Amino acid sequence: MRLSKSIFGPLAVGFALLGLVGLGVLVLGFVRRQHTVSSNTSSPSPAVEARSTTVDARQVWTDSTIQINKGDVVTIDATGQVNVAAPGDGADKWVSPEGWGYIPLMQCGTQPCRYVYRTPDSMGCLIGKIDDAKAFKIGRHYEMTAPISGRLFLSVNDAMSSRDGTLLDDSRAAALMFSDNRGSFNAVIRIQESRKSAAYGENSKRNSGPSIAVGLPQNADGSYTLSGTREGWAPLGQGTFTIEVKGSIDFGGFLASPDRSPIMGNQEALVPGVPFGVPVGKISDHGKPFMIGYSHQFQSGDQIAYIAVNDSYYADNKGSYIIYKR
């Protein structure tokens, strides 16, 4: 991207930075493990594990202590109310796990902040991540088949930049952006273990159709290289597959990793509203583009899935992403 262009729209919401770091975060949990009794008509169901986790709004990430395995069916139901700003602040508003319903822009002095929210869905909503993969909106109800294995973390979708627009790490975000937060969500998480053989058997059947070649140079280990200078969309294939992304890109003086970037994409970006420099995907020519992050499961059916670097000017980029297709 080029810096001379205006990056942000005119809307702005001020955030108060006052407040002390929360003195303590109470995470209450209980564990209930049950083995479903087999019915008289089918084989025994896989084990179901359910836990309840309190997500304090002042905590940048709450460790659910739940280990998820790839292929597990994860269902999350959430209640509660949080407020991501101090009383009297322009953003002082109590919301459900669905959050505000949109992302407001944030003002840093006279300029819009170079901020990133961890998902582009809704400020204040309940979000999750598996290990350090891309964060996703959970809201009141969420169901997924886990694309990767790892620990489940929960949080609220508050800004991750300081008042001068600098992207913050988790501990600085806790001190600067999350310390004025109030309230908590309660999430009930149910894990149904995957029936691996059955699930993967289905996947391989779905993948057996005609295949579209990946439009990127292939490496010796079978991965592909998405160079920062590669402009526009490259085909990834069709059917059901998972893409994992490693590496980082310098997109004109700023560093982006698969799920982190200091600058939100403007109207000139390939995908406006998604941060510059991150990998983006879409299904079919006219599909709605989305951020891929570190990992994304594509279910494109007969349509062609595409990948790209989100940028407006590619010639000054450096570095590349390594793409694993599984």
Nearer to Ca ion, 76 or 84 (CB): 84
Nearer to Ca ion, 73 or 177 (CB): 177
Q: DSSP code of 61?
A: -
Instruction: Give the contact letters, 174-213, x = binds to Ca ion (CB under 5 A), - = no.
Output: ---x--xx--------------------------------
Q: Does 158 bind Ca ion (CB under 5 A)?
A: yes
Length reported for the chain: 326
CB of 126 to Ca ion, least distance (A): 15
Nearer to Ca ion, 64 or 181 (CB): 181
Among 7, 55, 57, 84, binds Ca ion (CB under 5 A): 84
**Interior CA angle at 174 toward 173 and 176, to 5°?**
60
- Tell me which amino acid residue 308 is: A
* Residues of span 217-246 touching Ca ion by CB under 5 A: none
Instruction: Give the contact letters, 41-80, x = binds to Ca ion (CB under 5 A), - = no.
Output: ----------------------------------------
Q: How far, in Å, CA of 116 to CA of 177, rounded?
A: 12
Nearer to Ca ion, 83 or 257 (CB): 83
Cα Dmax for the chain: 69
Nearer to Ca ion, 101 or 253 (CB): 101
* Residues of span 98-157 touching Ca ion by CB under 5 A: none
CB of 178 to Ca ion, least distance (A): 6
**Interior CA angle at 318 toward 315 and 324, to 5°?**
110
Three-state SS letters, 301-316: CCCCEEEEECCCCCCC
Q: Of 269, 273, 300, whose CA–CA distance to 287 is shortest?
A: 300
Six-digit token string for 175: 């001190």
Q: State the residues that interact with Ca ion by CB under 5 A.
A: 84, 158, 177, 180-181
